[in-house]
Amino acid sequence: MFPSFSSLWSLSSLGATVLLSLPLAVAAPTVVPDMKWADTTRLGRPVSKDPCVIAFGRRYLMYFSLPPFDTRLAPSNAPAGWSIGVAESHDLKEWRKIGELWPEQECEKKGLCAPGAIVIGERVHLFYQTYGNGPKDAICHAASEDGVRFQRDASNPVFHPTGDWTAGRAIDAEVFPFGSQLLLYFATRDPQMKRQMIGVAGADLKSDFSRPTWKQLCDAAILKPELPWERLCIEAPSICRRGDTLFMFYAGGYNNEPQQIGVAVSKDGLRWQRLSDQPWLPNGRPEEWNASESGHPGVFADRDGKTWLFFQGNADRGRTWFLSRVPVLWENNCPRVAWKN
């Protein structure tokens, strides 16, 4: 189903007064996505998560999370935990895996996942999380000339939050340039490790993004779960810009609760206001491929002006995970989901 939206939203609390019309609730047809892709090499069944797409050179690259190997399929040198996959495409619909990032540094030895990528100059900068360390998981950085082979930052991990509002954990990295800074959005948890929420840090865009360059820009969550459908979790922030407004697509709810996707807006990258009290992209009906969730968004603004939202979904509570996409249409500078059937 398409979400029900309030008819108006305002940015007055962000220092601006903007009223935009939003579409009212409509019934959606049964959806057959034009992209439904996953890697099968790890478990012998399709499992891929956490998509992030960039345009680099003459192709598109997608970075995504790969689960630990089934021992029956694992090569002799297989890592024990999660890894990051790299796939390429020329049409954003058909994908082919072309590489993997396995643990190299001590901080990564239990696993790495949830990539966030950005092209700066002629290099791809990849920000990702360590995995398997509980409250000590943190954000790492690597860079690449070809988008496939990455050199790790010697100072990894480059960032984790501090303060009495957070357990110190940082996952789900998203980076976005704003003014002279590169903003780093991340998910963290409260000191009890129960409630997931979003924070932000910044580094000079001309820096090398190593650990000393990052400064935490908040002493509290910039977005935390408040709505019933968000339950105890907001994570996986993904940012795009329209004019002078930033749009954050985010995941609400932990995996398969169901996880669903919402949208918030900001003028300064720090203060955020939700577009609606309902999910922008909900999970599907019981008979649909994304019945268990539509989660972990990755928004991508293409060079031709089109916007796509990549996300993960499944219908079996996580036995499989597929990656898919929906076109994002803009009406009165407000995003509308448009399934292709």
Concatenating the DSSP letter of every residue in 105-157 gives SGGGTT-EEEEEEEEETTEEEEEEEE-S-GGG--EEEEEESSSSS-EEPTT-S
Distance between CA atoms of residues 204 and 215, nearest Å: 10
Place of tokens 């010697």: 154
| Torsion-angle region of 133 (φ positive above 0: left; ψ -120 to 50: alpha; else: beta) | alpha
Distance between CA atoms of residues 138 and 158, nearest Å: 8
Question: Prior bond to 161 cis, omega within 30?
Answer: no
- Structure-block tokens of residue 210: 């190593």
Superfamily of domain 8-337, CATH level 4:
Glycosyl hydrolase domain; family 43 (2.115.10.20)
Distance between CA atoms of residues 187 and 22, nearest Å: 28
Q: What is the pLDDT of residue 340?
A: 59
Q: What is the pLDDT of residue 22?
A: 44
Q: What is the pLDDT of residue 20?
A: 42
Distance between CA atoms of residues 225 and 194, nearest Å: 11
Distance between CA atoms of residues 341 and 328, nearest Å: 15
pTM: predicted TM-score of the whole model, two decimal places: 0.93
Distance between CA atoms of residues 315 and 155, nearest Å: 40
Integer-rounded Cα Rg, in Å, for the chain is 19
Beta bridge partners of 196: 189, 233
Q: Which stretches in the chain have pLDDT values below 50?
A: 1-27, 341
